[in-house]
Amino acid sequence: MIATRAGIRRGFLAMLIGAGACITLAASAADVPPPATSIKAEETALVLIDFQGNFANENGTWYPRFKEHYEKTRMLERTVALVKAARAKGVLVVHVTEGYTQDYRELDPTNPGGFHRSQLMRQAWKVGSKEAAYYEPLRPGPNDPDLFLAPRIQASGFGGTGLNEILRSKGIRNVAVAGFTSDVCVYATVLSAYDLGFHVYSLREAMVGFYQEMAEQMVKNIYPFWSQVIDNDPWLAMVKAAPGRN
């Protein structure tokens, strides 16, 4: 078959368009800026998920599950230090908790999902109970400008709490997340924050997984899709103190 001049021109044009697309993609990739190396404290929130008696107090139901991890990493003590340092720089500290009414009337007992069914079966996380009580070393003092949200029933810290609207009203762009657990509620919060457009920092030294082996793989391989995974001290070093703060 003998190619026509029109066919040759069309083929040549298609080749040029294809080459141009490749060049554009390469240029676009090269133009993607690197992640920030510093963030402003006044544009940053530290969101603490479920630091409550069930997990953090010695008499809590799940405390024995994490006891070895606490002893090995000093996670609880280091989180207290992290919060104090972040607060001193002017970071907004947000305390998010889980809690239910005495008869769980807000839940659907026929829902097949296991998250709420486990609470119903164990009669767990009732507001006012010891296991739902906040971890005292993290409780803000009378002069601390922390945000303490009402108890939630959803997995994500953003679920039904108004947190998105509150953070935006305060000019927050960066969200660091810590707490319980990195394979359930912390993960749900990280994913929500990313989907809402926040710059997310996952503080791996200030979180622990319920299924720890799986959670470690999630933090290593899945979390980087939605956040920058970082240790406490390097994150604090990134945070530029607000005007008038140290």
pLDDT tens for each residue of 183-196: 999 999 999 999 99
Helix ranges (H only) for 142-211 are 163-169, 185-195
Distance CA 82, CA 206 (A): 9
- Per DSSP, which regions of 13-132 are E strands? 39-40, 44-49, 92-96
Provide mean pLDDT across the span 198-226: 97
Pair type for strands 199-208 and 228-230: parallel
Q: Predicted confidence band at 19 (pLDDT cuts at 50, 70, 90)?
A: very low
Percentage of the chain with pLDDT > 90? 85
Phi first, then psi: what are they for 100, rounded to 5°?
-135, 155
Tell me if 49 sits within 8 A of 96, measured CB to CB. Answer: yes
pTM for this predicted structure: 0.87
Domains in the chain: boundaries:
1-32, 39-240
pLDDT tens for each residue of 65-102: 999 999 999 999 999 999 999 999 999 999 999 999 99
Buried b (16+ CB within 10 A) or exposed e, 138-170: beeeeeeebbebebbbbbbbbbebebbeebeee
CA-derived radius of gyration, the chain: 23
pLDDT tens for each residue of 89-135: 999 999 999 999 999 999 999 999 999 999 999 999 999 999 999 99
Query: Which CATH class for the 39-240 domain?
Result: alpha beta
